[in-house]
Amino acid sequence: MFRSIASTLSNCFKIPELKSRIWFTLGLLAVCRLLAVIRIPGLDGDALSNFFKAHGDGSGLLGMYNTFAGGAFEHCAIGSLGIMPYISATIIIQLLTAVVPRLSKLVREEGGRTQIIKYGRYLTVLLCIGQGIYFASSWLHPEHQFPGIGQLVLIENHFAYYFVAVTIMTAGTMLLMWMGEQITERGIGNGVSLVITIGILARLPRAVRSLIDMFHPANGQETDYHFMGTGLLLMFLLVLVVGGVIAITQAQRKIPVQYAQRAVGRKMYAGGTSFMPLRVNYAGVMPIIFAQSILMFPQPVCSWLAQAFEKKVPALQDFFNSLAISLNPGSWLYMATYSAMILFFSYFWVATQFNEIQIADDLKKNGGYIPGVRPGQGTSDYLHHAMSRITLAGAIFLTVIATIPIILGKHLQIPQDVSSFFGGTSVLIAVGVLLDTMRQVESHLMMRHYDGFLKKGKIRGRF
């Protein structure tokens, strides 16, 4: 197998076009990594970096951002915002397109897609400014997020500090967005997804070091709960999770479609048989991101309300204190709420993005039908029922994958640097993007009559 992979990789550099695309992609990804280590002027990134090394990736919104940005936030770097503002803006525009008639009409018009992309870029700038102010405030007052860390900002003029920090972070995100689009157009794979993936994979060396320290601590002392059996269990779990993610990511239900013979003008088009692929994990990683984003706020809000009612209403103070403790990541209430929200957002995403009525109408206009199903409303009901059933399987899978890192971290005392690679958004994004990239490379090889990565079958894309 390794000989076949090595032969395939060597074939990639025998094709001039593919070779130039690969080097172009690698070059821009290297620039993306530079943006994650070049610090913003006037900030002491060493102190924050040491805090993250001592306490893992952190928790909450800033910890998740630091993971997606490849550690840029902990270095107080130019690319601290990462590519996430652009992703958030794209998601918001997609949701608005599904519910706002004017935007949905604009998408179907000629040139409407280009206008939608412009709206997404404008919204990206606004999100960058808002999130940049929040990040700059967290660096200016680090004691609220990182207790005992000390002063990070070295600029005395706070107005100048905010202007410089927010402007540089916004420019960094827009540069990442531009490089992602260039990779998509002139490189290999989806550029924006590759930018996120390279940031996630950049955390892998630290995770390996943390895993080694679990069994061989730096101070020479042996731990009482990490032993060889735990290591074997983790390796087995890693293989199982990655294999499951690959299987579910490519899993699809093929709905047979029959096209009748039809005449267009003087031309007669013959009928044929095809199929409509319905992906099991249609929502991808979005339900987990939505659930994580929402569950970041209830615990701080409950803690703030408990402090507000400290002297006025002691009963409410006790209630909100207990609720804040119950919503701590790893608790049963948190896990139950987290799982329920993933299930809900899985169906919510399918409901907003999968339009079975339009699909049924398009089939009817093109003379296509599903054998045994009446065209029109009957086809729409059939697709709705089929999609609802396979979405349940995908949602359950996402719930299991999302809860594995929490269980490992809270109940097995696995460091967060390590547990994040055993499930959750990191594994789903990395595996899905790598599969898409391999599929594009394989298509270039097949066009030149070279063997792909697999001798039997082929890699299916997510889209």
Is position 444 within any domain?
A: no
CB 327 within 8 A of CB 333: yes
Query: What is the spatial distance between Cα 374 and Cα 35, in angstroms, rounded to a whole number?
Result: 55
Is the pLDDT at 453 greater than 60, yes or no?
A: no
Is position 150 within any domain?
A: yes
Say what the pLDDT of residue 103 is. 81
Is position 293 within any domain?
A: no
Mean pLDDT of 368-375: 84
Is position 26 within any domain?
A: yes
Is position 138 within any domain?
A: yes
Intra-chain end-to-end CA distance of the chain, in Å: 27
**pLDDT tier, 436 (very low <50, low <70, confident <90, very high otherwise):** confident
- The lowest-confidence range among 25-29, 72-76, 224-228, 247-251 is 224-228
CB 373 within 8 A of CB 421: no
Q: How deeply is 60 buried, as exposed, middle or buried, from its count of CB atoms within 10 A (0-12, 13-18, 19+)?
A: middle
Is position 1 within any domain?
A: no
Domain total in the chain:
1
Q: How deeply is 107 buried, as exposed, middle or buried, from its count of CB atoms within 10 A (0-12, 13-18, 19+)?
A: middle
Buried-state track 23-48, b at ≥16 Cβ within 10 A, e below 16: ebbeebbeebbebbbbbbebbbbebb
Between residues 67 and 24, which one has the greater pLDDT? 24
* CATH at residue 140: 1.10.3370.10
CB 77 within 8 A of CB 39: yes
**pLDDT tier, 463 (very low <50, low <70, confident <90, very high otherwise):** very low
Domain span holding position 100? 19-190
Is position 397 within any domain?
A: no
Residue type, 242: V
pTM of the model: 0.76
Is position 347 within any domain?
A: no
**pLDDT tier, 97 (very low <50, low <70, confident <90, very high otherwise):** confident
pLDDT tens string 202-218: 888 877 777 777 766 55
